[in-house]
Amino acid sequence: MSPTLTPPLPPPRWPVLIVDDEPEVHEVTRMLLSDVRFCGQPVELYSAYSAQAARAYLREHPETALILPDVVMETDDAGLHLIHAIRTIWATKTRRSAAHRPTRPGAGA
């Protein structure tokens, strides 16, 4: 089967999910991305406040284009597990996730 050469039509807005347990992170991200356009389309931002909530959301909304997860949430590596799950279970060609927060597990002495 030959690959389809014509890209699918972009949706009117790119659905983007922010996953973080800090409400202010959501707020500042919304502000930063308010003017961003990709392929001429603006982004639509959705919020999940824990890795668990993100999983639930993604099950309902497999069309999500971009996921911006935090690493340290319920546990030191909740974000990493989330990314792993996204890549192995829900991976599609059109969607990739990125860990955009440089926070690392730090409190686990």
Partner 1 sequence: MIRAKRNYRAWVANETLEDYALRYAAKSYRKWSPLLLANTALGGISFLALEAIGGAITISYGFYNAFIAIVLVSLIIFLTNLPIAYYAGKYHIDMDLLTRGAGFGYIGSTITSLIYASFTFIFFALEAAIMAQALELYFDLPLVLGYVLSSLVIIPITFFGVTLINRLQIWTQPLWVVLFVLPFVCVFLKNPAILAQWAAFGGKTGHGAGFDMLAFGAATGVLFALVVQIGEQVDYLRFLPERHTTKQRRWWWALIAAGPGWIALGGLKILAGSLLAFIGVEAGVSFADAIEPIHMYIKAYEFVFDDDQWVLGFATLFVVLSQVKINVTNAYAGSLAWSNFFARLAHYHPGRVVWLVFNVIIALLLMLLGIFETLEAVLSIYSIVAIAWIGAIVADLTVLKPLGVSPPYIEFKRAHLYNINPVGCGAMLIASLLAISAYAGEFGETAKVYAAFLSLLTAFACAVLLGVLTQGRYYIARQSLLPPRANTSDTLRCIVCEQHYEFEDMAQCPFYDGPICSLCCSLDNHCHDICKTPERYQAVAPFRSAPSLNQRTFQPNLARRLGWFLGLFSIVAIAAGIFFLLSYRLLEADPGPGTNLADIFLRLYLGALALIAIGVWWITLAHESRELAESELVNSLHYLEMTRQELVQSEKMASLGGLVAGVAHEINTPVGIMVSAASFLRDQSEAVRGQLGAGQLTPQAWEAFLNRAEDSARLLLSNANRTAALVQSFKQVAVDRVSDERRTFNLRDYIGETLTSLKPKLKRSRLSVTVDCPPDIQIDGYPGPLAQILTNFIMNSLMHGYDEHQIGAIRISARRTGDDGLELRYADDGKGIPRAIQGKIFEPFFTTQRSRGGSGLGLHLVYNIVTRQLNGTISVESEAGQGAAFVLRLPLRQSAPVELSDSTAGASADD
Residues within the interface to partner 1 (CB under 8 A)? 21-22, 24-25, 27-29, 31-32, 34, 72-76, 101-103, 105-109
Q: Which of 104, 106, 86, 105 is nearest to 96 (CA)?
A: 86
When the beta carbons of 12 and 23 are compared against partner 1, the nearer one is: 23
Quote the longest CA-to-CA distance of the chain.
53
What is the closest distance, in whole angstroms, from the C-beta atom of residue 37 to partner 1 in the complex? Answer: 14
When the beta carbons of 51 and 86 are compared against partner 1, the nearer one is: 51
